[in-house]
């Protein structure tokens, strides 16, 4: 019993997050970027692979709308909002200017069409109409945007509107854009239905839409996400793409031209796909049942807390190994989800991940009569 308890204590101490090496500077990776700031992130692990002035506070222009879309998609996926709900356009939303689909005051459009207009052509009028529909006013919606930014650890960010139109003090960083981009595409994958549209239309085909993100059409595996431009922010974007089961997020801020923005994003993505891969990890032997002392069931089946896919540099795939630590037995009562052990994942000699192994079910403790009944059965079987 003491051995089981000490093993579980060791597991709890080891289960802290495995530290990750910091992202390499883009220049050291041989990339000659034109932009002021950039990062490359892998979606599943959230690991930063490359960076350039990652925390410099800059104007994001319409890349701001990633947070707008995140709040809208959270409302949709939670059931607070339906994609079929009609959104009525206010005079304020209709008068936004900049990139727009020329909504008129009093016009109604379904949430799904509004989302499409925001993702494909960066419609400022649609972004504000959605914000007002969800929060009552753009100001109230922006308060939610900043609260969500804090929750995501976006310490470089201060939003003043939901569109990215120029406003003194409306800033974020490439690092923070990657954080909100990851949250959107990882937890709300249906956004891809909109961000991968190249050409479409609204108003029964009367108004054509062509995506401002040309990577959607011309880059293999592109999945989104959002472009931005103002004369003060210059050319920005968060570009996402997936190949061989790995999705990357490349953020580019303050590129001199539109072409250079896309070239920088492609260079970052190309580097990631050329140098990294995701490897699925499993225990090297099946997880055997664990004995339960004084339980109504004699054993409990362990299971991994989560699936594991490890981000490795290409060429390291064959160096991935696992080490299993399991309690020999555990005393009832056993709670469902109780820690029974840990699977450690190594690349060479380096610990890269630690996955708790949990009880798949609850096992109650035997009552006193139950204990005597079990003892009696054992005695009778011994005879």
CA dihedral of 116, 119, 120, 126, whole degrees rounded to 10: 60
How far apart, in Å, are the Cα atoms of 116 and each of 71, 130, 201, 206, 365? 15, 12, 9, 15, 55
Q: Closest Cα partner for 270 from 2, 102, 30?
A: 30
Contact of 125 with 138, CB cutoff 8 Å? no
CA neighbours within 13 Å on the CB side: how many for 57?
Answer: 10
Residue in 62, 99, 238, 359 annotated catalytic: 62
Residue in 4, 90, 99, 122 annotated catalytic: 122
Residue in 4, 37, 43, 65 annotated catalytic: 65
Query: What are the residues facing 190 on neighbouring strands?
Result: none
Crossing angle of helices 124-135 and 111-121, rounded to 10° = 140
Rg (CA), the chain: 26
CA dihedral of 53, 22, 215, 149, whole degrees rounded to 10: -70
Instruction: Check if 65 is active-site.
Output: yes
The overall longest dimension of the chain from CA atoms, in Å, is: 92
Task: Write the DSSP symbol of residue 372.
Answer: H
Q: Which two tokens stand for residue 38?
A: 């950039």
Number of H helices, E strands in the chain: 11, 19
Instruction: Check if 62 is active-site.
Output: yes
* Burial group, residue 298, by CB count within 10 angstroms (0-12, 13-18, 19+): exposed
Helix (H) or strand (E) holding 272, with range, is helix 258-275
The backbone region for 273, taken as left when phi is positive above 0, alpha when psi lies in -120 to 50, beta otherwise, is: alpha
Task: Write the DSSP symbol of residue 29.
Answer: G
Q: Closest Cα partner for 116 from 152, 173, 72?
A: 72
What letters, b where the CB count within 10 A reaches 16 and e where it falls short, cover 149-176?
beebebebbebbbbbbbeeeebbbbbbb
How far apart, in Å, are the Cα atoms of 61 and each of 38, 147, 336, 349? 15, 19, 48, 45
Instruction: Check if 232 is active-site.
Output: no
Active site residues: 62, 65, 122
């Amino acid at each position: 019993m003491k051995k089981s308890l000490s093993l579980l204590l060791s597991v709890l101490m080891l289960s802290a997050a495995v530290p990750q090496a910091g992202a390499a500077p883009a220049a050291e990776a041989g990339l000659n970027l034109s932009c002021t700031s950039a990062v490359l992130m892998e979606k599943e692990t959230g690991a930063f692979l490359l960076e350039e002035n990652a925390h410099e506070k800059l104007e994001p222009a319409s890349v701001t709308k990633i947070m707008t879309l995140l709040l809208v998609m959270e409302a949709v996926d939670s059931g607070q909002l339906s994609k079929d709900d009609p959104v009525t356009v206010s005079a304020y939303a209709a008068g936004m200017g900049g990139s727009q689909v020329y909504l008129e005051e009093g016009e109604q459009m379904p949430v799904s069409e509004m989302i499409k207009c925001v993702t494909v052509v960066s419609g400022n009028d649609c972004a504000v109409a959605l914000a007002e529909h969800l929060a009552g006013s753009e100001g109230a919606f922006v308060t939610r945007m900043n609260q969500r930014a804090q929750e995501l650890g976006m310490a470089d960010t201060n939003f003043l509107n939901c569109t990215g139109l120029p406003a003194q003090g409306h800033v974020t960083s490439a690092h923070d854009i990657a954080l909100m981009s990851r949250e959107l595409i990882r937890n709300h994958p249906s956004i891809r239905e909109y961000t991968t549209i190249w050409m479409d239309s609204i108003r029964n085909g009367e108004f054509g839409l062509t995506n401002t993100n040309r990577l959607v059409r011309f880059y293999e595996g592109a999945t989104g996400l959002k472009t931005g431009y103002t004369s003060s922010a210059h050319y920005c974007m968060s570009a996402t793409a997936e190949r061989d089961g790995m999705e990357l997020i490349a953020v580019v801020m303050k590129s001199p031209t539109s072409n250079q923005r896309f070239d920088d994003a492609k260079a970052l993505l190309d580097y990631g796909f050329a140098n990294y891969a995701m490897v699925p990890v499993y225990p090297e032997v099946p997880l055997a049942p664990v004995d339960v002392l004084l339980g109504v069931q004699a054993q409990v089946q362990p299971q991994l807390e989560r699936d594991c896919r490890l981000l490795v540099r290409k060429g390291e795939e064959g160096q991935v190994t696992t080490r299993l630590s399991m309690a020999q037995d555990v005393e009832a009562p056993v709670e469902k989800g109780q820690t029974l052990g840990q699977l450690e994942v190594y690349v060479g000699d380096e610990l890269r991940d630690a996955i708790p192994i949990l009880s798949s079910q609850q096992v109650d403790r035997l009552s006193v009569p139950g204990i005597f009944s079990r003892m009696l059965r054992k005695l009778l079987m011994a005879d």
